[in-house]
Amino acid sequence: MRNFENIYIDGAWVPSDGTGNIEVINAATEQVMGSVPDGVASDVDRAVAAARIAFDTWSQTPVEERQKYLVRLNEALQARSAEIAETIAGEVGMPITWSTMIQAGLPAGNMATFATLLDSFEFEEKIGNSLVVKEPVGVVGAITPWNYPLHQIICKVGGSLAAGCTIVLKPSEIAPLNAFILAEIMDEVGLPAGVFNLVSGNGTTVGAAISEHPGIDMVSFTGSSRAGKQVAASAAASIKRVALELGGKSANIVLDDADFAKVIPKGVFACFLNSGQTCTAHTRMLVPNSRYDEAVEIAAAAVAATQVGDPTEEGMHLGPLISQAQWDRVQEYIQKGIDEGAVVAAGGLGKPEGHETGYFVKPTVFANVTNDMTIAQEEIFGPVLSIIGYDDDDDAVHIANDSLYGLSGGVWSGDQDRAMSVARRMRTGAVDVNGGSFNIAAPFGGYKQSGYGRENGPYGIEEFLQTKSLQL
């Protein structure tokens, strides 16, 4: 049980001006596992004031000095890896084996990458008689989600620190404990006061205050498309820069020359990781009509072999969803799929046998799905896979692009060149070609209603920079 009574502003733990607390619920036990302050708008005012003062010094701190802090942060994240993994396994429900590798491993890896990039990142270049300089954008308001909570925080905080920005962070109110561990780490490594500030609270209060605040120069938001639209609208009043990483409904195209026995189970995994609570999840599997029944049979068998279990136990099983609200949402989508004529090939409504406590769901595969169905168009955020048939490569690309979203996708083929040709035609920010693995140094972001802006690697530093030309 971790009960945090204070927020972190100007290098110190201080009481919130609010009087309430937010309880954090363990996804597997449904019991309270901690609490954080329910912050208010005046807390954001204090955090912004501290960040603005700190910006004057931090923005002028030599790159080599900023890099030293990033290295220390990476070391401290590694030192507390077990604690972070255990905390997020409870908050989010990702089993501890995966949580150790992903929820704790990725944040440390990202921080190390940002530190290393500063060895070679070019903040200035000469163009004719002009010196073009890249300068930090200013005070960054970071609003982050609950599914990969610390990873998404580090994508924003690490890039901002590397660029020379100061930060006001509002973590998800559903999974905030990991952010408080990060604030403890910031304090331990001696980051200058005001450079990093943490205000917990609800999106409608603290998130709105950040989006609207005239003292914040940029908002970086990750979350739903609905909330992203509200953030962008609020930020428009002060013409601040906005970066949005929003929802997805990614298509995984399996071409007719692919080895179905190998790639279909991998496609199921690409949908089900983190119990489907992944914005890049490949939730639409597109298969040739000529091999449709074969694909459904293999996918159903893969789901039958998928285990659901306790997040505290080691293993490659699936854990619960994060909350009762998310469980209800997924159940509604499964029912909607049935009502619209899709066929449950595996899984379905209700909880898996033996898992009545906790927000567990049955991993589910739908067959006979058409791309106009609700389950093929809307982001479910649960382990629900829709299998859609197509006639030829052109038809597959058309179906894949027939979506409001464009965050990720996949292509499988026995011919790499053919797979690449299809991947280039997909209107999405990333495509996994024949199972290409996630690269934390590559740009991450979306097309269309999946947002704009890029995170990770050099692009994740560039995002927090302004460009100025000096004519000489």
User: Taking the alpha carbons of 376, 380, 381, 383 in that order, is the dihedral positive or negative?
Assistant: negative
Between the alpha carbon of residue 14 and those of residues 6, 37, 193, 202, 210, the distances in Å are 5, 11, 13, 18, 19
Calpha distance 98→74 (Å, rounded)? 20
Report the DSSP beta bridge partners of residue 125: 132
- Report the candidate in 291, 276, 367, 365 with the shortest Cα–Cα distance to residue 322: 276
Contact 81, 108 (CB under 8 A): yes
Q: Tell me the CA end-to-end span of the chain in Å, nearest whole number.
A: 60
H helices present in 93-176, as ranges: 96-98, 105-117, 149-163
- Report the candidate in 287, 367, 351, 283 with the shortest Cα–Cα distance to residue 319: 351
Pairing between strand 364-369 and 384-390? parallel
Contact 59, 466 (CB under 8 A): no
H helices present in 93-207, as ranges: 96-98, 105-117, 149-163, 177-188
Contact 131, 430 (CB under 8 A): no
Q: What is the dihedral of CA 63, 67, 68, 73, to 10 degrees?
A: 150
Calpha distance 56→79 (Å, rounded)? 31
Contact 247, 224 (CB under 8 A): yes
Calpha distance 96→98 (Å, rounded)? 5
Burial (CB count <10 Å: 0-12, 13-18, 19+), residue 440: buried
The residues assigned a catalytic role are 245, 279
Pairing between strand 251-254 and 32-38? unpaired
